[in-house]
Structure 1
Amino acid sequence: MAVLAVVLTRDDRREVEPRQVDVPRASPAAASTALADFVAGVRAGDEGLPGDAGSNARALGLSSVTARYVDQVGTVGEDGSWSGVVEVSWQVDGFDAQPARAEVAVSFAPEGDGVAITGFGGEGAGRVPLWLGGALAVARADGVLAMVHGDQREARAVVERARRGIGVVRQVLRDWTGPVVVEVPASAADLDAALGVEPGTYAGVAAVTAAVGGSAGRGAPVHVFVNPDVTEGLRRAGAQVVMSHELAHVATDAVRTPIEPWLLEGFADWVALRDTRLPDRTTLGRAIAAARRDGVPGALPTAADLDPRGADLQARYEEAWLACRIIAERLGEQGLVEVYERVARGGRVGRELARAGLPVAGLTRAWRQRLADLAG
């Protein structure tokens, strides 16, 4: 890289003398070579790869693993290290119908005559898939696979919770069988990184069902992601409700279904809580407290109310569940399922409820009255 050096001569005249200065640069060619070697190691299940990627790939049964260098991110350090965006693909055999694809920030550093991969994440946009983030415990059984940043006991417990959740969901959606993949990162921050969202987005959420890569198109893998910072504080029954709720989303392909948020979340909670015998003061405790503090809401929860970073999020979820419970009381279980399915196929929720004999206005009046009665 050519730069200009300013030289002060004896007679105070300034002259410009061009000369070559060595400046560290990123090498896309060297990065591509390092990525090709990395992919070969992943496919061979080699130990000692960055992020324990080879060992994780072998345990998970990954296939269709590719890595393509896209562009440099930021500047090159004085030691020649830099970060680049890399398009990565991978597929969990037997569980994912298609490969997932995501842009991942990869760190490179000089090594010998080339460069080496030194880590994933950090500077730059992108996700950090769980299998690139350190050693995983992996367990599987009956169409369920769990990958956990923890020990084998935890992975087996997640599998059993998912198996019970499948049974819960099939009480309502009898034709669904799975398969299911559950990912449990080490922390809420790692959950945000795995999903490629802003830090803190899912800090208060127990779990989320989401596309694994950057696309939620037809056939793209959808997994359940668990927030251990929240679920570790739950009792066994609470953790099971969380899992069953997320599996209801998996069963209804909620990630790819444009549906009114209160119906989407309320229905999943209704499925998960259908056979529980807990009192309303437990299942609706936060909604009751919010109604006593702020008054009964004037309308059913909106998309903004159900945003993961919204205030009183748990109260809004309970309110959505209560709305679906009232639909089931008025129209029967099958009536609720049919309304949900018609809306999922593109029907408008107001039209479908009216068609079933329970207009939104009537539902809202009954819902507000129930909340008022519960709040006393």
Structure 2
Amino acid sequence: MRSALADPVRAKAGRPLWWVAGLSLSLLLVAGLVTWSVLDCDPYVAGQRRPAAPQAQPSLAAAALHDLEDAVVAGDAGAARALAPRGDEHAGSLLTAVVDNARALHVRDFSVRYVDEEGGVADDGSWAAAVDATWRFAGFDARPARAEVTVRFVPRDGGVAVAGFGGGGRRTPLWLASRLEVRRTPATLVMVAGPAGEADAYARRARTAVPVVRRVLPRWRSGLVVEVPASAHDLDATLDADPGEYANIAAVTSTVDGSLAPGSPVHVFVNPDVFDSLRPQGAQVVMSHEAVHVATGAATSNLPLWLLEGFADYVALRDVDLPLTTTAGQVIRQVRRHGPPARLPGAAEFDTTTTHLGATYESAWFACRLLAASGGEAALVRLYERVDHGAALGPALRSTFGLGVGQLTQQWRQGLSDLAS
């Protein structure tokens, strides 16, 4: 009789070994199934709710703009200030200034309409938007200017506040950008982002420019509007110009909204960084020159630049008692170094970034002075008006002065050479 130890097919309690092995395998399978289930099936965990990203609120912004429009039209500075963000004194002061400016400038036909969000929304919920704005200065602008301006908005107490204007690669109307000193006469309107004394000085030059122009162009009666930002940088913002585009000039005449549409308001925009460095007589010549551009609609004209700019200088210098060595001093020096120019100046020579811009203006003035000396001032005015209304320069020049463009150029070059000798 064999013992239990000697019987390999028997285990404890008389169970067969295959049964025990099978049970172990079953347990392993169950354990494996449980392990697979735990590893493969993620347990349900309630997701954490993330805060919603801030969004622009066009309808609330449109309501704020409507309230601003009402405040400007009503002349209610308090209502405008109430539209500023809580605790933002700068924005409150600016919105107050906008209403005060509008009252002094006699702003009419003012409207502001939300167009679209511009860029993203900041973490604090603020954003910028393009806004379609229209306005005109009664008594001077026959039609409203219209431009897209950038307005900044900030959420406030379930609504939206107006934080400011400007940026976004768009024009920023001066009267919406800062508090202005305004000077008005029946013929002039001057606005200056500076002290009262500075405004008085610009206003005097504007008043002097009007009769200077009317002595040659007596039919001009629309008046002169002059805008003076605080700096050259602010001039770039007012005109939406590339930085430094007008760094070398004292003033520019342009449509207010940058359009070429007939009837668009045309104003003089001053670069104070250059203008304020001029001597009094030079500053007056610049102001009178720009007034000629306003009177003749030069901002939307297709005239040859030598005639457009030369005529403006002819009128501005007509009654100024200065020697040719002063009024043509820069071009005389240039001719002495390089000889007379080969042709009457055009777009390349009048580029505002050129290094000889003063000489270019003087050479254009000298061409118009030659014409007035040979055929009379009235003939020069007729030539200007005929070409401005679409006549070709060559035929108009020949019928008015009996000269072709080539003959005028030859006389002009010879005259410059004589001056420089």
- 2:184 corresponding residue in structure 1: 140
- Quote the residue 1:5 is aligned against: none
Indicate the residue corresponding to 2:333 in structure 1.
289
Contact 1:305 1:311 in 2 (8 A): no
Pick the aligned partner of 1:30 from 50, 60, 73. Answer: 60
Report the counterpart of residue 101 of structure 2 in structure 1.
56
2:228 equivalent among 184, 195, 202: 184
Amino acid at match of 1:88: A
User: Could you tell me how far apart the structure 2 residues matched to 1:29 and 1:177 are?
Assistant: 44
Deviates more, 1:271-280 or 1:289-298: 289-298
**Pairwise CA distance, 1:168:** 0.8
- Cα distance, 1:332 vs structure 2: 1.3
Match of 1:66, SS?
A: strand
Amino acid at match of 1:260: P
Matched, 1:368 2:413: yes
Q: Is 1:239 the counterpart of 2:269 in the alignment?
A: no
Match 2:239 to one of 185, 192, 195: 195
- One-letter code aligned to 2:385: E
Q: Is the 8 A contact 1:62 1:93 kept in 2?
A: yes
Aligned-pair Cα RMSD in Å? 2.1
Matches within 5 A, 1:127-276: 127-276=171-320
State the 1:158 CA deviation.
2.1
Aligned partners of 1:322 and 1:250: how far apart in 2?
Answer: 21
**Structure ID, larger Rg:** 2
Q: Which structure: greater helix fraction?
A: 2
TM-score (norm 2): 0.82
Q: Secondary structure at the match of 2:146?
A: strand
Query: Quick one: which amino acid aligns to residue 353 of structure 1?
Result: L
How many residues matched? 366
Q: Which amino acid aligns with 2:160?
A: V
Distance in 1 between residues matched to 2:60 and 2:265, nearest whole Å: 31
After superposition, the Cα gap between the structure-2 partners of 1:13 and 1:235, relative to the gap in structure 1 and judged at 3 Å, is: farther
Query: Cα deviations across residues 106-141 of structure 1 (Å, max 9, x unaligned)?
Result: 11111111221111112x121110111111001111
Match of 1:121?
166
Partner residue of 2:21? none
Could you say which structure has the higher strand fraction? 1
Q: Deviations over 1:233-278 (max 9, x none)?
A: 1111111101110111111111222211110000000000011121
1:103 Cα deviation after fit: 0.9
How far 1:317 moved relative to its partner?
0.8
One-letter amino acid of the counterpart of residue 337, structure 1: V
Whole-angstrom distance in 2 between the partners of 1:297 and 1:13: 87
1:25 shift after superposition: 1.5
